[in-house]
Amino acid sequence: MASTAGAAPVAVADVEPDTGRRRGLTGYLLILPGVLWLVLFFVVPFYSLVATSLYDPAGSDFRGYEMTYHFQNYWTALQEYWTPLVRSLVYGGIATLFCLVLGYVLAYAIAFKTGRWKNLMLVLVIAPFFTSFLVRTLSWKLILADDGFVVDFLQTVHLLGEDGRLLATPVAVVAGLTYNFLPFMVLPLYASIDKIDHRLIEASSDLYANPFVGFWKVTWPLSLPGVVSGTLLTFIPAVGDYINAQLLGSPNQRMIGSVIQSQFTDANNYPIAAALSMILMLLILAMVLVYIRKAGTEELL
Amino acid sequence: MSQVAEASTPAAGDGTTYDGLRLRGVTKSFGAFTAVRDLDLDIPRGSFFALLGPSGCGKTTTLRMVAGLEAPTSGTITLAGQDITYAKPYRRPVNTVFQNYALFPHLDIHENVAFGLKRRKVSGVDEKVREMLALVELESQARKRPMQLSGGQQQRVALARALINEPEVLLLDEPLGALDLKLRRGMQIELKRIQTEVGLTFVHVTHDQEEAMTMADTVAVMNAGVIEQMGAPEELYENPHTTFVANFLGQSNLIEGVVKSRSGDVVTVDMHGIDVSIPAARTHADGDKGWIGIRPEKVLIGDPGEELDAPGNSIPGGVVSDVSFVGVSTQYLVRMPWGQELQVFQQNTGHRRLYRTGEPVELSWRPEYAFLLDFSQDASAGAEQGDD
């Protein structure tokens, strides 16, 4: 009796660690494709960018491809290009704010007021993506042209002087950014406003909240996840954008994206371009982290 | 002078002195569909009023019009003498407990309950919220989010959130519909207790006839946008005026009959060759024909020729066609000579024997329990909806 009772657990113990180990291995095997993908498309390029930003620009081509920990690059980049960097953040910020206001109204209207036209409206929001980003930005050049109807009208009502113009001004660049990134704001906002139970808004009005108070106490807080993801999706690409500044602005509206692009392609100054990219990335990352903490929507991360 | 005179005049006609909730000629149409038709309703202050009807009968629409979430197509709604027909919902002294509670998911329980008071800038909000949470026995849950509570607890939060504002009228839109049976019974007693305690006017919308009868002082049975009958639960049950009420509130046997004579306070009706008498106060049919109604538990069953405690109406020739034993009672289906099957519920007191399928029996009932309904009405109206 006793011997059989003792033998049974041994047999079990023999089998169990084995299957446990095998199960562990299966787990690693299953995440292997993901890890490979990340290494190939994220770790390698990222390492290459970091390495490039630390090259010694004075070195020869041979020595230049070695990691030289030349941190001086960052300082030089900041000293030389802090104005386009700050300008990018400001333009991106203003464009994001405009997108938020316009996008919220649009998303709210689509979610609550359009009824059976809802899907058509959503398609219309996405429709511009069927044409190229460049073509759409170029068409803004026509709209805002010096002899275009917008400028004509503004001159007639004396908001612009006789020789006033919109092209090559910050207005044109911010307008272009706002237009181009509006869908990135509208879609996440729509997704979160559409989810709001209409009965909650009814409940707020039943509990003595007029429509204005009801909006700020119920609709707005419930749409915050959409606001946060929408602003991030708009702000991040808007800050790094260079097409709008290049096509609608002048060298005075140069944004950091243009600088990086010209450093890479025209000046062949890889270290400075890479350093600027890193600075931009770290800045945005820091801002996003602070923003998400403040908005109290950590679950988005 | 004149004010005093007005105040002392009893509420007459459409006078504005009525201090309860009053609906006059209220109609609500959605396109071609009329949800509520020319509704007149007086709900006295401090009463527990139930609006009972099957889904789609217009009871929720009526409630939403009182809450201000829907504007009537025509008619007026007055509350304590004030016309509130077109007042904005946030300006009415009316609060609602919504069907799915509609608690704010981004606020905790304390903030949910405080919502109404904060909007009205009342002082001492925290103290009042604590008292209210104590009343619904949720003090310990004050800092939780609605999603972390059970259905019954959420229901109590919804109730507290509405009650704390001390509205003139509290509207309850099927508030117990999402709860399971056992919890529902508990909450029914709870709600009734709170209503007695705070003394507010409660208007309760439900499709559950048992819920309406256990809780309300007055029940209005609504069907297809109109009120079929209104009164105390016992009165509605014992003396229904329409076939819909007879079938929707409990069950009824409705048997075709021809009126033979109306003399004094008794009406004699020929029911397939047998004379049955019905008190005049319980006849609601003017024509020659009518539906003789009798509740299954009022029908007595016995052996053929047996002397039963029911002088007056005795109907021989029945055959038991189905027996279901439900513990507290036995429910028989008895096929009558004219082919109709009647329902009979017999209490299992132990004094009477059980009958088996196929046995010949005799039925009888006391004349004062029978009622007579208009023959133009559909005898099966409300029967299938009343099941749940």
Question: Closest Cα of chain A to B102: distance in Å?
Answer: 5
Using the Cβ of B95 and the Cβ atoms of chain A, whether some distance falls under 8 Å is answered with: yes
Return the axis-axis angle of helices B109-119 and B151-163, rounded to nearest 10°. Answer: 20
Secondary structure in 3-state letters for chain B: CHHHHHHHCCCCCCCCCCCCEEEEEEEEEECCEEEEEEEEEEECCCCEEEEECCCCCCHHHHHHHHHCCCCCCEEEEEECCEECCCCCHHHCCEEEECCCCCCCCCCCHHHHHHHHHHHCCCCCHHHHHHHHHHHCCCHHHCCCCHHHCCHHHHHHHHHHHHHCCCCCEEEEECCCCCCCHHHHHHHHHHHHHHHHHHCCEEEEEECCHHHHHHHCCEEEEEECCEEEEEECHHHHHHCCCCHHHHHHCCCCEEEEEEEEEEECCEEEEEECCEEEEEEHHHEECCCCEEEEEECHHHCEEECCCCCCCCCCEEEEEEEEEEEEECCCEEEEEEECCCCCEEEEEEECCCCCCCCCCCCEEEEEECHHHCEEEECCCCCCCCCCHHHC
Angstrom distance (rounded) from CA A140 to CA A153: 16
pLDDT digits (tens, 9 = 90+) for B296-316: 999 988 888 777 765 667 788
DSSP three-state, residue A168 = coil
The pTM (predicted TM-score) of the whole model is: 0.78
B90 with A206: Cβ contact below 8 A: yes
CB contact under 8 A, A207 and B165: yes
Nearest to A208 among B69, B100, B116 (CB): B116
pLDDT band (50, 70, 90) for residue A9: very low
Question: Cβ of A206 and B67 within 8 Å?
Answer: yes
Closest in B67, B90, B98 to A210, CB measured:
B90
The domains of chain A, with CATH numbers, are 81-300 (1.10.3720.10)
Q: What architecture is the B18-238 domain classified under in CATH?
A: 3-Layer(aba) Sandwich (3.40)
pLDDT band per the 50, 70, 90 thresholds, residue A11: very low
State the nearest Cα–Cα gap between A182 and chain B, in angstroms. 27
Nearest CA in chain A to B97: A203
Sign, Cα dihedral of B14, B169, B208, B27: positive
Is the pLDDT reported for residue B49 higher than 80?
yes
Enumerate the residues of chain A whose CB falls inside 8 A of the CB of residue B96: 203, 206
What pLDDT, on a 0 to 100 scale, did the predictor assign at position A189?
95
- Closest chain A residue to B68, measured at CA: A206
Question: Which tops the pLDDT comparison, B43 or A55?
Answer: B43
In chain B, CATH 2.40.50.140 sits at 243-387
ipTM over 0.85: no
CA B99, B102, B108: angle at the middle one, nearest 5? 140
Distance from B192 to chain A by nearest Cα, in Å?
23
**B94-97 and B169-173 strand pairing:** parallel
- CATH code, B243-387: 2.40.50.140
CA geometry: angle B377, B379, B380, nearest 5 deg? 120
Shortest distance, CA B266 to any CA of chain A (angstroms)? 52
In angstroms, the separation between the Cα of residue B91 and the nearest Cα of chain A is: 6
Q: Encoding tokens for residue A207?
A: 């509990």
The answer to whether the Cβ–Cβ distance between B102 and A202 falls below 8 Å is yes
* CA of A122 vs chain B CAs: smallest distance (Å): 27
**Token digits for A36?**
């490979």
Does the pLDDT value for residue B195 go beyond 90? Answer: no
Q: Which of A281, A99, A287 is nearest to A177 (CA)?
A: A99
Mean pLDDT of A171-199: 93
Q: Do A222 and B98 touch (CB under 8 A)?
A: no
Query: Parallel, antiparallel, or unpaired: how do β-strands B94-97 and B82-83 relate?
Result: unpaired
Select the residue of A203, A209, A217 nearest B98 (Cβ to Cβ). Answer: A203
CA distance A4 to B125: 71
Rounded CA separation B157/B112 (Å)? 8
Where does chain B hold its CATH 3.40.50.300 domain(s)? 18-238
CA A44 – CA B337 distance, rounded (Å): 94
Burial of B323 (0-12, 13-18, 19+ CB in 10 A): middle
- How many CB atoms sit inside 10 A of residue B11's CB? 14
Chain A residues with CB inside 8 Å of B162's CB?
206-207
Please count the other Cβ atoms lying within 10 Å of the Cβ belonging to residue A34: 9
Nearest CA in chain A to B103: A200
User: CA nearest B164 in A: which residue?
Assistant: A207
Residue A177 predicted with pLDDT over 60: yes
Q: Chain A residues within 8 A (CB-CB) of chain B?
A: 197, 199-200, 202-210, 213-214, 217-218, 221-222
Q: What percent of chain B has pLDDT over 70?
A: 93
Q: Decide if pLDDT at A273 tops 60.
A: yes
Backbone angles phi and psi of A70, in degrees to 5: -90, 80
Does the pLDDT at position B13 exceed 50? no
B120 touches chain A (CB under 8 A): yes
- Taking only the tens place, the pLDDT of each residue in A105-143 is 999 999 999 889 999 999 999 998 898 989 999 999 999
Q: What pLDDT, on a 0 to 100 scale, did the predictor assign at position B384?
A: 63
Q: Mean of the per-residue pLDDT values for chain B? A: 87
The reply to whether residue B104 touches residue A200, judged by beta carbons under 8 angstroms, is yes
